[in-house]
Structure 1
Amino acid sequence: MPVIEHGVRRSEPGTGSVMVVLVVVLLAAWLVLSIVGFAIEGILWLGLIGVVLFVATAIVGWLRRSTHRKV
């Protein structure tokens, strides 16, 4: 259950590490999809989708990490 201190909602200890693991796993999955997509010319679209998802996941992970540090 989240703890509210000074009007700011904080998550329980340890939940941040789960988010980091999830972001790292997603980044690895998107990286693999990108490599496979660019390695096989017929599915170049897979590589492009992998790159877009990799960048989006990295941005979301970075934003969430910086938000947790401010709290």
Structure 2
Amino acid sequence: MILLGVLLLILGFVFSIAILTYVGVALIVIGAVLWVLGAVGRPIAGRKVWY
């Protein structure tokens, strides 16, 4: 999710498409939060591991 966010962020800057930039930032933030919660061992939505 973080990689997709970075890709969309770069594409948004290159092609000057604001919606891609916003979606990219949102995906990076959500992916980082899920990554941190998973790294500390906190279950997310009833699951300990997300594949």
Normalized against structure 2, the TM-score is what?
Answer: 0.69
Partner of 1:54: 28
Alignment gaps of 5+ in structure 2: 43-51
What percent of counterpart residues are identical?
29
Alignment-mate amino acid for residue 32 of structure 1: L
Corresponding pairs, count: 42
Larger relative helix fraction: 1
Larger Rg: 1
Alignment gaps of 5+ in structure 1: 1-25
Bigger relative contact order, structure 1 or 2, given CA contacts below 8 A and separation 6+?
2
Please report the RMSD computed on the Cα atoms of aligned residues, expressed in angstroms: 1.3
Q: C-alpha displacement at 1:61, in angstroms?
A: 0.9
- Does residue 45 (structure 1) correspond to residue 19 (structure 2)? The answer is yes
Moved over 3 A (4+): none
